[in-house]
Amino acid sequence: MSKKMRNYNDDYKGLGNVGDYEYYYGNADGELQRSDRPIDRRHTSAHSDADDQNEPGVHRKKKMKTGTIYLLMTGFFVIMIVTVLIGRIYVRNFIHSKIESGNTPVVSPADDDFMSEPEPEPVDPAVQKIEEELSAMTLEQKVGQLFMVRNNGGGSFKDTVSKTHAGAAILFAGDFKNKTPEKVRKMIEGLQKASDGRMIIAVDEEGGAVVRISSNPKLRKSAFLSPQALFKKGGLKKVKSDTEEKCKLLDSLGINMNMAPVADVCTSKKGFMYNRAFGKGADETAEYVSTVVSTMNKTPVASCVKHFPGYGNSKKDTHKGLDINKKSLEKLEKSDLVPFERAIDDGVDSILLTHTVVNAFDPIHPASLSSDVVNYIRVDMGFDGLLITDGLEMGAIIKYSGDSGKACVMAVKAGVDILCAPKNPIKDYKAVLEAVKSGEITEERIDESVRRILRFKQRFPEPVQPEVSSTTESDTESTEQSTTEMTTVTTTQSTTQTTAQSTSQQTTVTGSKPGDDGAVG
């Protein structure tokens, strides 16, 4: 330490904290260093600030007062507030000048309020409409929305629709046989009027072995070709144009859902589904499915990809009995599920579940009755559209459950949305209704499916109205009877319908003859 620095070491031992000043001194090299010797402000008689000022080697640095810091911070915030206010005034004047010049839309008072709370997001009108429709329904009507009934010859089709409050109906070849387009439209209009609201009117018009509509020459000159025949004739371009023509025909008749395309990956000619499938590998089948689904999305007719998770090359027919798929999940995901994943990516409206027991998902229940299968589709595949059972009158389900009503209850509990073609629709409807009333099925579970169904029906907000003929029905009948040809047609139609109602329609479809009626699948 410099000799000129006073030594207070002996005088101020134990004084404690340093006062308001820190002392510095110059060392031998001319550098400024801090002294660690304290000074007590009380001892002014022995040493004063003036003494230090006169010491050549002693320097002092005054600490900043706390009040000074507060003063600077206050000044900073005042400047910030003034800047914001000036900016706000400038922006407001700028906006108003733009409004006056017509270069920007008028700003609402809420937008002009600088401190206004953000407005809540508007409710989706579509969702609001669904909730309004749902809240207006009785329990009976809500349960009925889950039923897709068919004309099984057990009485009046319209009575079946009315008594079950059915939300959907599926038509078969017998419903179209010998009918003109006008008569088909009137039939469908009658079903719509018998229901509680908009109905899903579905049909299997795959082409080839399954053609419910085009098997009638009065509705189309020739039956639609199978997927394989179409592709052979003109590739996917021909598939696309064929799909467009199908949808145009169905829409003109008042049908709003085609249970197609078939997405089963079946490459063996011995496979049960081969004649109805695309007949090629997973990726090629996926391209076919994508072409059909993406084309249907541009029409008023909804799509239903089937039969999840796929028959594969199985020779067994679930119209007659149970089939068991023993493939691992890894194999399914690399092959059978590929076309279904593609359909979901392309926005397919619905998926039909097969009655096959698939061990990779659930070794106990058929896919159509399995909550594990439903969860896989909903969670793993991310699909929130309609899930539809295959025909619940088919042999596999009857043999598995022993009772179609029990099967309907199981399907609803599993999470399926639509029960397709139950064997005894009125009885089966009552079974599901009773299960809800008893608490076996919660009403919340019913509401979940009804919301999906109502959302689906927004695709076609109003049922297609039939064309109104300029003549009355009695006049038309008189005109028909005035010619021998039309009399013969009328007699044949009457005889066919009477025969259809007097016989059981449980005959299974094997795809051997175009237009063959029977169970869904």
Domain at 143-467+480-502, CATH class: alpha beta
Pick from 76, 125, 303: nearest CA to 203: 303
Give dist(CA 220, CA 243) in Å, integer.
14
pLDDT confidence of residue 480: 39
Q: CB atoms < 10 A from the CB of 43, how many?
A: 14
Q: How confident is the model at residue 35 (pLDDT cuts 50, 70, 90)?
A: low
Exposure letters 128-148 (e unless 16+ CB within 10 A, then b):
eebeebbeebeeebbbbbbbb
Residue 345's identity, in one-letter code, is D
pTM tops 0.75: no
Q: Distances from the Cα of 449 to the Cαs of 32, 96, 168, 406, 481, in angstroms? A: 84, 51, 13, 18, 48
Condensed to tens digits (0 to 9), the pLDDT of residues 46-84 reads 444 444 444 444 444 445 556 677 777 777 777 878 777
Give dist(CA 354, CA 467) in Å, integer.
37
Pick from 466, 419, 425, 511: nearest CA to 153: 425
Q: How confident is the model at residue 492 (pLDDT cuts 50, 70, 90)?
A: very low
Exposure letters 287-318 (e unless 16+ CB within 10 A, then b):
bbbbbbbbbbeebebbbbbbbbbbbbbbebbb
Share of the chain above pLDDT 70, in %: 70
pLDDT confidence of residue 519: 56
- The DSSP result for 225-259, as a single string, is PPHHHHHHHHHHHHHHHHHHHHHHHHHHHT--EE-
- The DSSP result for 58-81, as a single string, is EEEEEPPPHHHHHHHHHHHHHHHH
Q: How far apart are the first and last CA of the chain?
A: 105
Q: Which residue has the higher pLDDT, 93 or 307?
A: 307
Segment 386-396 mean pLDDT: 97
Return phi, psi of residue 473, to 5°: -65, -40
Return phi, psi of residue 397, to 5°: -75, -40
Give SS3 for 420.
strand
Which of 436-440's residues contact partners 24+ apart within 8 Å by CB, and which partners?
436/139, 436/143, 437/139, 440/409, 440/413
pLDDT confidence of residue 36: 53
Measured in residues, the chain has a length of 521
pLDDT confidence of residue 94: 64
Condensed to tens digits (0 to 9), the pLDDT of residues 318-351 reads 999 999 999 999 999 999 999 999 999 999 999 9
188-202, 389-403, 473-487: least confident range: 473-487
CB 319 within 8 A of CB 509: yes
Domain range list for the chain: 66-112, 143-467+480-502
pLDDT confidence of residue 232: 97
Q: How confident is the model at residue 172 (pLDDT cuts 50, 70, 90)?
A: very high
Phi-psi map region of 415: left, alpha, beta (phi>0 left; psi -120 to 50 alpha)? left
Q: How confident is the model at residue 95 (pLDDT cuts 50, 70, 90)?
A: low
Average pLDDT score over the chain: 80
204-208, 323-327, 458-462: least confident range: 458-462
Beta strands in 311-467 (DSSP E): 324-325, 350-353, 357-358, 386-389, 419-420
Pick from 217, 235, 146, 148: nearest CA to 177: 217
Residue 14's identity, in one-letter code, is G
Residue 119, pLDDT > 70, answer yes
